[in-house]
Structure 1
């Protein structure tokens, strides 16, 4: 679905994903899964704290999110990370299409190997899933609903195939794990470098949630500063800095009020620099500064949301090809960041918050080059971790 051409088949896959997995109703059905996984994450981190062990933030987050998306263990993460890094590597063929067949840098060969490995995994997963269909009688999951749609034509005469199902599962694992964990890791990094932001977020959660239980998704609407922190992290550190490549089949003109606009030739590959948009000094005051207050009342950007309605902040893209998982992404980021900040006190080993490595690894996604490691201390009542 992510890389499919716009058309009837793409519309069908997007509809199925939205209705059964990524829409508001489907997300509500998922809530208990996210809650249980958040509890397991917090308990594991509390055990690490008791043993004096460091927590590697991206590792615990990817494990939790992968378990939510499909109960795939962290040992499979190498395929997700390799794909997201490899898909965004500089490839001379992207800029000189005539060289594509030569694959001078071996990028295409590497991605084919990763794809084949993932295809084998999903094929095995689907076979095991089919063998246990009777266990889910009356409570079909996402794959059950997709299988039920095979051979059934929609209003455009399109139907879904086994290959399409594999593609959708592939999209869910790649788009639903590392991208969300990257934002949470960057947000935690910025909060450690800005203790006043961490303190204000924890004060808000203590006031709204208290210290007798873990944060719940139903608390998030009452936590505007947490929401502002997430928006600011998405502005400064978008998980896909150049969005996904787009392609123009026909020549078109893009009008820009007050500017010359663009003429895009047919058969052109297009990249949108989301990273630069989020740091544009004409749109943002002190754009290089991590300042969640800009999204609070009176901050100047309190009405701006990251869901494609304001072009100065488009971490999920915009228009009809906006990320289908934008609502799920917001839930993941807000819920897991809030849970971690609320449940623990944080410090960098050696007390070097101001020396945290802020370098990035460029790819389709933009993770930290050096994973964030931290020591945590439980800050809630003991019963909250039970």
Structure 2
């Protein structure tokens, strides 16, 4: 009896010791520094209308990796190239998923698009389809005629307005949406897709967007009817519908999958290109000397007898530098879409718990004085002697993200931005209205939705 009692005492002692060690371990965890959260709201009281700027100011106090709480959710923010590399390359497999939200569930067809799909077989298959089919070099080349036709129409519209003040944003949005609409949907649907504000409002207008999808898909199905075996896809929706009929896919695509991917393709390609070119022109209008350098390069490479073609772009390093400098100073995705920690891990000596949401502040990275000399100045020349690309390998510049979750359509975006910018500078002499001075150009920011 005494022996049995002794074993009970020993067992209880061991359990107490294990509990103590477990508690000690939890207390020994080292989390990134950050502001103390309030009950219920966490640190949301510190986030203003421009979240990236609020987080930038906080990171200057707490460091290039910091932890906050948004409501009850733990959040880690990376504000340097090195920290971005830790999350997007070194530990990419751990942070390859996305957080799920109530809003996301209802606006992305239960996460059946590529941007917000959780990491797993469905996402991997979608990524493969995007890279091997929708955005392959051969596929993008086959759509080049669309880009040529729409840029010619764009230039013609601008020419008709020569000598008059114009709102450039409207024209950039129109040409970008025209290209994306024809590439993805096969034709322009301006009766459904109003030019200004469509992408921002489509999430709030889910029923209207569903009707739009039904209309588009019905037209495409009618074109394919009775000719499935020999049918040649003419646009990306044709491709997606064809893939949905493929019985050999590892993960079956359904009607909502096609809806989700289509929504991704339209939303992801429309605002990014137009906004980048608008920012570039805003900066250039303040610096006529930069416009002169760009036009001299174009004249030297292309001449004055024809428009800039996509084949000319690799020979225009200054246009490339203007694009990259714009992406550095005015990233469209000021905060990359949040990543989700799939398991507990250690990053740069700090403990990150499973379920933590991670944000990469590209706005902060582009203003890091340890990387960029005089970061508040617009200086395209800085990229003439820096071998930075936008393919996610240089973490100082991440306009399209990096790693597994990098935007798969980045190559199309780059083509559109450079072609728009080069032809606008090549075809026209740009001046501010007589009553306007360079310092009057508004450089105010508006927070936009996250990109991958």
CA distance in 1, matches of 2:321, 2:205: 37
Residue 141 in structure 1 maps to residue 225 in structure 2: no
Q: Which runs of 4+ in 1 moved over 6 A?
A: none
Residue 276 in structure 1 maps to residue 392 in structure 2: no
Q: Which residue of 1 aligns with 2:337?
A: 244
Unaligned runs of 5+ in 1: 87-110, 367-386
Conservation of the 8 A alpha-carbon contact between 1:80 and 1:173:
no
SS in 2 for 1:347: coil
SS in 2 for 1:362: coil
Residue 311 in structure 1 maps to residue 422 in structure 2: no
Residue 320 in structure 1 maps to residue 431 in structure 2: no
Q: Which residue of 1 aligns with 2:127?
A: 14
Task: Give CA-to-partner distance per residue, 1:241-283, whole Å, 9 cap, x none.
Answer: 001122223222223xxxx4x3221112221101110111111
CA distance in 1, matches of 2:313, 2:274: 18
Cα deviation for residue 119 of structure 1 reads 2.1
Q: Which residue of 1 aligns with 2:354?
A: 266
SS in 1 for 2:346: strand
SS in 1 for 2:118: coil
Conservation of the 8 A alpha-carbon contact between 1:216 and 1:335:
yes
Partner of residue 163 from structure 1, selected from 240, 256, 260: 256
TM-score, scaled relative to structure 1? 0.80
Cα deviation for residue 115 of structure 1 reads 2.6
CA pair 184-40 structure 1, distance change in 2 beyond 3 A: same
Cα deviation for residue 83 of structure 1 reads 4.7
Residue 69 in structure 1 maps to residue 184 in structure 2: no
Conservation of the 8 A alpha-carbon contact between 2:224 and 2:231:
yes
The 5 Å alignment of 1:200-219 reads 200-219=293-312
Task: Give CA-to-partner distance per residue, 1:153-177, whole Å, 9 cap, x none.
Answer: 556x212111111111101111111
Unaligned runs of 5+ in 2: 1-113, 182-186
SS in 2 for 1:263: strand
Partner of residue 59 from structure 1, selected from 163, 167, 170: 170
Cα deviation for residue 226 of structure 1 reads 0.5
Partner of residue 382 from structure 2, selected from 294, 319, 324: 294
Q: Which residue of 1 aligns with 2:448?
A: 363
Cα deviation for residue 112 of structure 1 reads 5.4
Conservation of the 8 A alpha-carbon contact between 1:217 and 1:335:
yes
Structure possessing the higher radius of gyration over alpha carbons: 2
Q: Which residue of 2 aligns with 1:33?
A: 146
SS in 1 for 2:294: helix
